[in-house]
Amino acid sequence: MPVYRQAKYAPTRSTLAKDEYTGLLFRITLSKETRKKFSKVGRPKRCEKCRPYKCTCHKYKWPVNRRLPSETLELQHQSQEDVDRLGQLASLVSLRDHLDQPSPPLINRLETPPLPTTSVHIPPSIPSDLHFRQTKLLKRITEYYKMMDATRLRIDPIAEKLNEDDKRQHEGEEVRIPRDIRNKVWDLIEEFNTSYEELDHKGHSLTNKQWRVLKKAVKAIGTVSFTDLDSNLLNVCNKLLELEIKFP
């Protein structure tokens, strides 16, 4: 029965216990013989050589190896041989278990394996016109696209004005730009649009001279002022034609 607590008025002579099954508490009085028997339980050991509570005589001492070095080497060698022998024995046991398994009959081994049920995906053939692009040309094409995008934003309003004059001429109204000038400006705009649309494809076959010609044409358009386009439309078209811009 486990001890529940000690009595306050007689801590060394009686104790209070509880029954685990019934839950009842009752007091146990210790006899004189019992108290005398367990009076020194838990006390530290003392000896005459050491001071009280600091005795080191009873502490555990490490064992001393009395073997000679030659004996130690011999034991290590014997231990390694035992390990190798156990490894060989384990491999032999594994081989025996493998040989004990019956092999399938010969007729089963000669049968053709079943065809795979999943469909085999055959990749397409490599195209004959496959060409790898150079990083240098890809960077140059990206750079020229940025310049031509800015130029295209300036040319689009002129194309709208030319469309308005074409409609007016078709309806018999007065136009701001003569027909011959409009046709030449239309040719310039179409050449620019063609170069812009085909730059990604033709850019890998252009020579360095053609790249310089394209850059010169784009910069030439940028030198023309497009401010107040409604009143200066004719002057803007004449300046574009005077530059004699050519695209590769």
Q: What band does 81 get if pLDDT is binned at 50, 70 and 90? A: very high
Task: Name the burial class of residue 237, with classes exposed (0-12), middle (13-18) and buried (19+) by CB atoms within 10 angstroms of its CB.
Answer: buried
Average pLDDT over residues 1-13: 47
Any bridge partners for residue 15, and if so which?
A: 6, 28
Q: Please give the share of the chain, as a percent, with pLDDT higher than 90.
A: 8
Q: What band does 47 get if pLDDT is binned at 50, 70 and 90? A: low
Is residue 49 scored above 70 in pLDDT?
A: no
Domain containing residue 14: 3-37
Angle between helix axes 233-242 and 179-197 (nearest 10 degrees) is 60
pLDDT of residue 39: 75
Is residue 189 a contact partner of residue 159, using CB atoms and an 8 Å limit?
Answer: yes
Domain count, the chain: 2
Six-digit token string for 214: 């394209």
Residue 77 in any domain: the answer is no
Residue 229 in any domain: the answer is yes
Average pLDDT over residues 203-210: 88
Residue 52 in any domain: the answer is no
Q: What band does 80 get if pLDDT is binned at 50, 70 and 90? A: very high
* Cα–Cα distance, 189 to 159 (Å, whole number): 8
The dihedrals phi and psi of 24, each to the nearest 5 degrees, come to -90, 145
Is residue 6 scored above 50 in pLDDT?
A: no
Is residue 129 scored above 80 in pLDDT?
A: no
The dihedrals phi and psi of 85, each to the nearest 5 degrees, come to -65, -40
Residue 84 in any domain: the answer is no
Residue 176 in any domain: the answer is yes
Task: Work out the angle at residue 176's Cα, subtended by the Cα atoms of residues 179 and 224, and round it to the nearest 5 degrees.
Answer: 90
pLDDT of residue 64: 65
pLDDT of residue 1: 44
Nearest to 246, CA basis, from 222, 214, 223, 224: 214
Query: DSSP 3-state assignment of 160?
Result: helix
Residue 106 in any domain: the answer is no
Is residue 185 a contact partner of residue 241, using CB atoms and an 8 Å limit?
Answer: yes
Angle between helix axes 179-197 and 208-222 (nearest 10 degrees) is 130
Is residue 244 scored above 90 in pLDDT?
A: no
Q: What band does 212 get if pLDDT is binned at 50, 70 and 90? A: very high
Is residue 169 a contact partner of residue 175, using CB atoms and an 8 Å limit?
Answer: yes
User: Considering Cα of 28, then 31, then 33, then 39, what sign does the dihedral take?
Assistant: positive
Residue 67 in any domain: the answer is no
Six-digit token string for 91: 């491999």
